[in-house]
Amino acid sequence: MRMEKLLVLVCFLAISVFAAGEDEENGVALFIFGDSTVDPGNNNYISAVPQFRADHPPYGNNGFFEKPTGRFCEGRVVDLKKQLDQFEELQDKLVEKLGSDEAEKLFSEAVYFLSIGSNDYLGGYLANPEIQQLHPPQEYVGMVVTNVTKAIQILYSKGARKFGNLGLSALGCLPIMRAMANDPNGGCLAAASAMAAAHNSALSTAFQGLASVLPGLTIADSNFYDFLNDRLEQPSKY
């Protein structure tokens, strides 16, 4: 449930920025890279704004699923490399459509939002004993952070300048990880949260490094870890 609420939040954010895009004076494009934490849709049970639902045709007509998944992105998961390839394809199309000057302006003024890493740690590492044998946690964190850093460099080389990063929540406190922790009090799986915290900290250091060598680059980082933890620990405050 908590995750669904987050998705809705991010979706609203995306829509408000796109809506602002209609005002050519002030609007900028928003490109989102990441995992299912930023897969828009999943509002099938929220009737307040029917337009925000994707559980009807033409969604789901890509021959992959039998019916609409409820997600605007069709519910298919693609890795970061594929997302970067798709961005490149989109860039070519927009250059063709808008002309290179206007397309260049669009890409340089756009906001690039990242929400990456949860799957790498939950699925790629913690559920994968072979990988755990090969790499100690800190080394694996370094690999994920290197990949995100490379992605930012690639996007920068294609004109991106303004980035936002959500950061990871305390992954060990997700219900599935609490179940794995098998603590009679329902406590969190410390190893998973530790990786998330190490990731956030290593990525924030990498951001500083990037900003110091890439002119004009700005990255707005968030402290999503504490943001969500605070709400989990003291829900009555909110």
Ligand X SMILES: *[C@@H]1O[C@H](CO)[C@@H](O)[C@H](O)[C@H]1NC(C)=O
Residue 69 CB partners (closer than 8 Å, separation 6+): 41, 54, 55, 59, 60, 75
Q: Which is nearer to ligand X, 98 or 143 (CB)?
A: 143
Looking at the DSSP bridge assignments, the partners of residue 41 are 71
Residue from 144, 160, 174, 177 binding ligand X (CB under 6 A): 144
Report how far residue 96's alpha carbon sits from residue 156's, in angstroms, rounded to the nearest whole number: 20
Report how far residue 84's alpha carbon sits from residue 81's, in angstroms, rounded to the nearest whole number: 5
Is residue 82 near ligand X by the rule CB under 6 A? no
The closest alpha carbon to 119, from 127, 130, 111, belongs to 127
Is residue 132 near ligand X by the rule CB under 6 A? no
Q: Which is nearer to ligand X, 88 or 102 (CB)?
A: 88
Q: Which is nearer to ligand X, 40 or 117 (CB)?
A: 117
Residue from 78, 143, 176, 232 binding ligand X (CB under 6 A): 143
Is residue 173 near ligand X by the rule CB under 6 A? no
Q: How far is the CB of 124 from ligand X (least distance, A)?
A: 6
Per-residue HEC secondary structure of 163-181 comes to EEECCCCCHHHCHHHHHHH
Q: How far is the CB of 71 from ligand X (least distance, A)?
A: 23
Is residue 147 near ligand X by the rule CB under 6 A? yes
Q: Which is nearer to ligand X, 59 or 125 (CB)?
A: 125
The two structure tokens encoding residue 195: 């990786």
Report how far residue 97's alpha carbon sits from residue 131's, in angstroms, rounded to the nearest whole number: 44
Is residue 120 near ligand X by the rule CB under 6 A? yes
Is the bond preceding 58 in cis, omega lying within 30 degrees of 0?
A: yes
Subset of residues 42 to 71 that bind ligand X, contact rule: CB under 6 A: none
Report how far residue 171's alpha carbon sits from residue 90's, in angstroms, rounded to the nearest whole number: 32
Q: How far is the CB of 223 from ligand X (least distance, A)?
A: 23
Q: Which is nearer to ligand X, 62 or 128 (CB)?
A: 128
Is residue 81 near ligand X by the rule CB under 6 A? yes
Residues making contact with ligand X (CB under 6 A): 81, 120, 124, 143-144, 147
